[in-house]
């Protein structure tokens, strides 16, 4: 496995958390592209990617944000974070399956900062796409380019309730990979909504939600309640990210029909 050292931290990222999130996510993305080019396949590629991105992000955070706590999918949960004022919530490789299927580009790196109850900075890098969406320079969501609403769904297991929701809204389903990619698809006008109730964890959506909110999109639990991070139980099983004009219809459907 490659062990190249990360690029020198840009001066802006030393003190600016938005810039640091971007830089850290992009450094992990570059490392993942290097791992992907080494000729590994299947489970070996998945494991190598997870390990390489986790190692790099952990090292960057330890060096440049040593006083902050970290919650990561790929590391043991240090419960001292519950008393910390600042917690980085990271998913070093979101969409491991898609990462292991070159040349797919629907996988991502998530880096988010939680401060005293709020997500305050975040970046979602899509390295194979060459894009990093972030809170420092929020994306401008383009006007909707489709006549019918589009709902991002899992390419392998779209939930039945979302198919019923699509029928109710006369929407089309757009299959794609990782959770972060689905949220960014709304930012990019590839989809108009992402509605999920199949189980996630805080690291799956913290950075995507931070970025989506900064871009002016609506984000909540499927019942319309607030998304809460840095909890003892890191399960965050459902969410809605959508264009604001679709939120009321989606929440009303879920409240009436549920997600079973």
CA atoms of 115 and 149, how far apart (whole Å): 34
CA atoms of 186 and 80, how far apart (whole Å): 34
**DSSP β-bridge partners for residue 123:** 111, 134
What the chain holds in terms of domains, given with CATH numbers, is 11-134 (3.30.540.10), 150-257 (3.40.190.80)
> What pLDDT is recorded for position 236?
95
> What pLDDT is recorded for position 189?
94
| Cα dihedral across residues 161, 163, 165, 168: positive or negative | negative
CA atoms of 8 and 21, how far apart (whole Å): 14
> What pLDDT is recorded for position 26?
98
For the chain, which ranges sit under pLDDT 70? 1-5, 156-158
82: tokens are 């519950």
93 sits in the region (left: phi over 0; alpha: psi -120 to 50; else beta) called: beta
23: tokens are 């830089």
CA atoms of 121 and 20, how far apart (whole Å): 9
| Cα dihedral across residues 4, 5, 6, 10: positive or negative | negative
pLDDT digits (tens, 9 = 90+) for 161-218: 899 999 999 999 999 989 999 999 999 999 999 999 888 999 999 999 999 999 999 9
Query: By three-state DSSP, how is residue 43 classified?
Result: helix
133: tokens are 């969406």
63: tokens are 């060096």
Neighbours of 10 (CB within 10 A): 12
CA atoms of 121 and 113, how far apart (whole Å): 5
| HSE-CB for 181 with a 13 A CA cutoff | 25
Among 91, 95, 122, smallest CA distance to 107 is for 95
240: tokens are 């809605």
What predicted TM-score, i.e. pTM, was given to this entire model?
A: 0.94
pLDDT digits (tens, 9 = 90+) for 105-114: 999 999 999 9
């Amino acid at each position: 496995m490659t062990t190249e050292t990360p690029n020198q931290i840009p001066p802006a990222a030393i003190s600016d958390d938005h810039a640091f999130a971007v830089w850290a996510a992009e450094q992990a993305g570059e490392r993942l592209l290097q791992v992907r080019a080494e000729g590994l396949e299947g489970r070996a590629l998945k494991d190598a990617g997870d390990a390489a991105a986790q190692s790099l992000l952990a090292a960057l955070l330890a060096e440049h944000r040593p006083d902050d706590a970290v919650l990561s999918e790929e590391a043991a949960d240090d419960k001292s974070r519950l008393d910390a004022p600042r917690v980085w919530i990271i998913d070093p490789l979101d969409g491991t399956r898609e990462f292991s299927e070159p040349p797919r580009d629907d996988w991502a790196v998530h880096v988010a900062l939680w401060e005293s109850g709020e997500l305050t900075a975040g970046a979602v890098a899509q390295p194979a796409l060459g894009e990093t969406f972030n809170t420092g320079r929020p994306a401008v969501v383009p006007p909707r380019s489709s006549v019918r609403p589009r709902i991002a769904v899992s390419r392998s297991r779209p939930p039945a309730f979302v198919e019923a929701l699509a029928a109710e809204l006369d929407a089309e389903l757009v299959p794609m990979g990782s959770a972060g990619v689905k949220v960014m698809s709304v930012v990019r006008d590839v989809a108009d909504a992402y509605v999920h109730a199949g189980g996630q964890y805080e690291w799956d959506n913290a950075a995507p939600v931070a970025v989506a909110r900064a871009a002016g999109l609506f984000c909540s639990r499927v019942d319309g309640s607030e998304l809460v991070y840095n909890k003892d139980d890191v399960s965050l099983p459902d969410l809605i990210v959508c264009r604001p004009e679709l939120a009321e219809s989606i929440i009303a459907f879920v409240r009436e029909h549920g997600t079973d």
